[in-house]
Chains A and B, each alone.
Chain A
C-alpha cells in the first residue's frame, strides 16, 4: 500500500488527524533540511510537505518568498531536493514526503526524468501550485506510473462541479485552502471551513487536509475537529527565517517544537 494511504488509514484507526508541516527545502541552508525533517517527525508530524525552491513563487506570500530566496542563495535545485529525500529514506521508511512547488523546475528536468528520480528517492506525492487539472493530461499518467500521488488544491472559489472534476484526478489526500489569498494570510473561519470540508467529503472518500491560516495549537486543534489533517506552513517558515543565523540544532529544536505543541493540542481535543 502507498505510504500516504497507509498513514491516513492508521490515523483513522487511532481516531487521530494528520499533522502536516511544510518547510522549504534548503532553507535557510541545505544542511538544515534533513535534521529538520527528522525533528518534525519526532515531534509528531505524520506527513512532510517539502517545498521545491522557485525564483517566482507567485501564489505564496512574503514569508515563503523569503524562504525561497534564502534557499536559492545556496543554489538549491530540484536535484538537491530529491537527494535530501533519498537521504531521509535511509533512516525513515514510513513517513510520507510530498513535494510542493511550481511547474517550471519540473518542466526543465523533464516529466519522465523527474517522476523516475522522485520515485527512486522515495517521494510519495506532488503538489504543483500552478498546474490545474486543465493542464495535467501529460504529467498525471507519468506520476501514476511511478506511484506518486497527485495532490490537488481546492479553494473557496472552487465550484462543486469543478471540485468533482479535480477530485477525480486527485489521490492520497485533498488539500483544502481555507481562504482566498496567498500563504501566510491571516483569517481562519473554522465554521466556514467545517462546512466546506463536509461538502468535499460528500464528493470523495479521500482524506481532506486543511491549510492556510493555521498558526498556533488552538487553530490546529480547531481544524483537527473538522478535517482529517492540518497543514502548517508559514509559521514554521517564519521561525526558520528568524533563526537563519542560528546553529542547525537550535533551528530544529525551535521549529519542530512548534509542531510538538500542535501535536499535543490536536491529540487532546
Chain B
C-alpha cells in the first residue's frame, strides 16, 4: 500500500487518517470520543466560508501574513551556486511558523466551546504561540515542557508565563519533547471534557496530522505565488528542516504534485549520524507506533523509544509526522541531515551575510541548502523555509562561544 503513488499527492490522508500505512489513530479509548468529535467539527468547519474567512483574517491582521519571500542576493553570491530565496516565517507574530497552526486550533477550541487549552513544546516556540492565542481568546493555558528544554529555553519559558500560561516541567523519561507530549496526553485523557489539546506538529492521532498540515499549508501557497511573481517560474528545489515536520509540510504540500520541483527535508544530524547522537528517524529509524500514529521512529531493537540529541530543542524528537514517512517511502521527498556543527555555521553565516538570525531549527535547512546550491549551480532557484527566528537561541550559541549572557 505504501509504495502506491496516487495521482494527487495532496489528497492524503484517506478517510481513516492514513497516509499509506502511516498515520491512523493509535490512541487510548478515553480519547477516541474527543478525536471523533474534533474530526467532525473540523470537517464541517473547514468547508464553511465563515471559518475560512476568520482564519485568513487572523493570519493577515494578527500573524502578519503574507510573510515575504526574500531573495538572499548576498548569500547566493557568497555561496556561488543556485539563487536562494528565504520564506520568512521568522517575521510572523511570535517569531515562528508555529503561530499559523495555533491560530487555527484556537479557532477550533473556540467553536467547540472548550475553556482550557494544553500544549507540549520543545524549543518553546509552539508553547509561546499557544500561550499567545490563549491570551487573545481568554482561555486558560497549560504548557508541558521537558525539564531539560526548560533549562535550554529560559527566554521562551518566561514569555509563556508573561502571557499567562502555566508551564509544567516534565521530569520523566528523557525530560525532552517526547516526554512533554506524553504528559500532555495524560492531561488530555484526564480533562477531556473541558480541554482542547493544541498539538504543535503534524504528528499525533488523526485528525491532527491533517489539520496541522492544512493550517501550515498557507506557507507553500504563498511561496508558490510569490516565486511565480518574482521569477515567472516554479523553484527547482525546496528545503525545510524536519523535527515533527510541520514547517516542512507547510512549505512542501502545495508543491507535491509539481514533479519538476525537488523537495528536501533536513533532519537533525546532531553529533553525526554515525555517532548515534542525533534526531533523524527518517534517515536511520524504522516504522513503529508512538503518540497516536504509525510513523518512522528512533527506537532500540525492543521497540523502546531512544533518547535523541540535537543542538536545537525544537528538532529533538524521536518521531516524525506520518505524512513525511509516506513521502519518504514513495520517494517524493528526499530526507537528509545536517549536523549541529553545520547548523551552527549556517546560523553564523546567514546572520553575518544577510543580517537575518535564523532559529537553530531553520539553520539546519540553511546548512543543507548551501551544499545543494553548489551542487545545483547557477541559474537554479531554491526556496529555503526560514521557520523561525534565532532570538531564543542566542544564549545557546553564546554558551558554545563560552559567553554567559
Contact of B304 among A58, A77, A103, A132 (CB under 8 A): A77
Known A-B contacts A55-B305, A181-B189; A157 and B34 likewise in contact (beta carbons under 8 Å) = yes
B303 at the interface (CB under 8 A from A): yes
- Tell me, rounded to whole Å, the shortest Cβ–Cβ distance linking B162 to chain A: 29
Q: Which of A130, A154, A166 contacts B27 (CB 8 A)?
A: A130
Chain A residues numbered 220-252 whose CB sits less than 8 Å from any CB in chain B: none
Judge if B202 is at the interface, Cβ distance under 8 Å: no
Interface membership of B185, Cβ < 8 A? yes
Given contacts A105-B303, A105-B304, contact A56 B16 (CB under 8 A): no
In the complex, which residue of chain B has the Cβ closest to the Cβ of A131? B26
Q: Does the CB pair A56–B190 fall under 8 Å?
A: no
Cβ of B301: which chain A residues have Cβ within 8 Å of it? Answer: 77, 108
Is A79 in contact with chain B by the CB < 8 A criterion? yes
Kindly identify which residue among B190, B286, B287, B304 contacts A181, using a CB–CB cutoff of 8 Å. B190
**Is B32 interfacial (CB-CB < 8 Å)?**
yes
A-B contact count (CB 8 A): 125
- Identify which of A59, A62, A102, A134 contacts B189 (C-beta below 8 A): A59
Can you offer 22 A-B residue contacts whose CB atoms are under 8 A?
A54-B304, A55-B173, A55-B304, A56-B182, A57-B182, A58-B291, A59-B30, A69-B172, A78-B303, A103-B289, A104-B289, A104-B299, A107-B287, A132-B26, A132-B27, A134-B24, A153-B28, A157-B32, A158-B29, A158-B33, A177-B29, A181-B190
Question: Interface size of A by Cβ–Cβ distance < 8 Å?
Answer: 45
Contact A159 B33 (CB under 8 A): yes
Contact partners of A152 in chain B: CB under 8 A: 29
**Partner of A56 from B29, B189, B286, B305 at Cβ < 8 Å:** B305
B285 CB to nearest A CB, Å: 11
* Contact partners of B290 in chain A: CB under 8 A: 56, 104
* Contact (Cβ within 8 A) B29 A155: yes
Asked if residues B25 and A182 are in contact (CB atoms below 8 Å), the reply is no
In the assembled complex, how far is the CB of residue B180 from the closest CB belonging to chain A, in whole angstroms? 11
Query: In this assembly, does B288 line the interface, its C-beta being within 8 Å of a C-beta of chain A?
Result: yes
Please report the C-alpha to C-alpha distance between residue A197 and residue B34 in the assembled complex, in whole angstroms.
Answer: 22
Residues of A within 8 Å of B190, CB to CB, are 180-182, 185
